């Protein structure tokens, strides 16, 4: 998968956000945006913005609770820590965002299928009108040659 952006990815980190044992890709950008993408299809499952360019992203047990957390730092000294667990609102947000992305993708596919169907129906209507016009011309030309007693 590809990402098109005017900004530069300045920091990359692997971190298991959803607890499935597979690390997702955490990217810190030059504009302060931090996003977490699925390893499977690259869809964004969580995003946050810092006030300035991202200087670093680390995973560490800064609460000394035996659990690694995601820590993001900006060039201006802003530091944010993120804990992702099933009870945590951030994990719920990530899950809701992922569900919305899947719904948007499904709706876009349905829209494309409906547009194709509409195009086929328009072609069928046009073909039907052409056939009716040809039939009408034939009837008119046949009746113009008939004599009325």
Would the pLDDT of 51 be above 80?
yes
Contact by Cβ (8 Å): 104, 90: no
pLDDT of residue 49 exceeding 60: yes
pLDDT surpasses 60 at 87: no
**The model scores a pTM over 0.75:** no
What are the pLDDT digits (tens) for 94-148? 555 666 777 788 888 999 999 999 999 998 888 887 777 666 665 555 555 555 5
The pLDDT, as a whole number, for residue 135 is: 64
Confidence (pLDDT) at 21: 81
CA 104 – CA 41 distance, rounded (Å): 14
Q: What confidence score (pLDDT) does residue 117 get? A: 93
How high is the mean pLDDT of the chain? 81
Instruction: Determine how many CB atoms are found less than 10 A away from the CB of residue 58.
Output: 15
> DSSP secondary-structure letter at 41?
T
User: Sign of dihedral through CA atoms 33, 37, 43, 47?
Assistant: negative
- Please, what CATH class does the domain formed by 9-85 belong to? mainly beta
User: Confidence class of residue 32 from pLDDT cuts 50, 70 and 90?
Assistant: very high
């Amino acid at each position: 998968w590809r990402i098109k952006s005017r900004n530069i990815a300045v920091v990359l980190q692997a971190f298991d956000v959803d607890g499935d044992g597979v690390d997702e890709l955490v990217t810190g950008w030059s504009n302060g945006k931090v996003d977490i993408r699925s390893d499977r299809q690259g869809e964004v499952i969580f995003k946050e913005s810092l006030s300035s360019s991202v200087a670093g992203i680390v995973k560490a047990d800064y609460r000394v609770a035996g659990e690694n957390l995601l820590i993001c730092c900006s060039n201006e000294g802003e530091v944010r820590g993120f804990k992702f667990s099933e009870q945590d609102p951030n994990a719920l947000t990530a899950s809701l965002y992922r569900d919305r992305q899947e719904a948007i993708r499904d709706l876009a596919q349905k829209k494309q299928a409906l547009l194709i169907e509409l195009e086929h129906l328009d072609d069928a209507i046009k073909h039907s009108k052409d056939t009716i016009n040809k039939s009408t011309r034939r009837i008119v030309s046949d009746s113009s040659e008939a004599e009325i007693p």
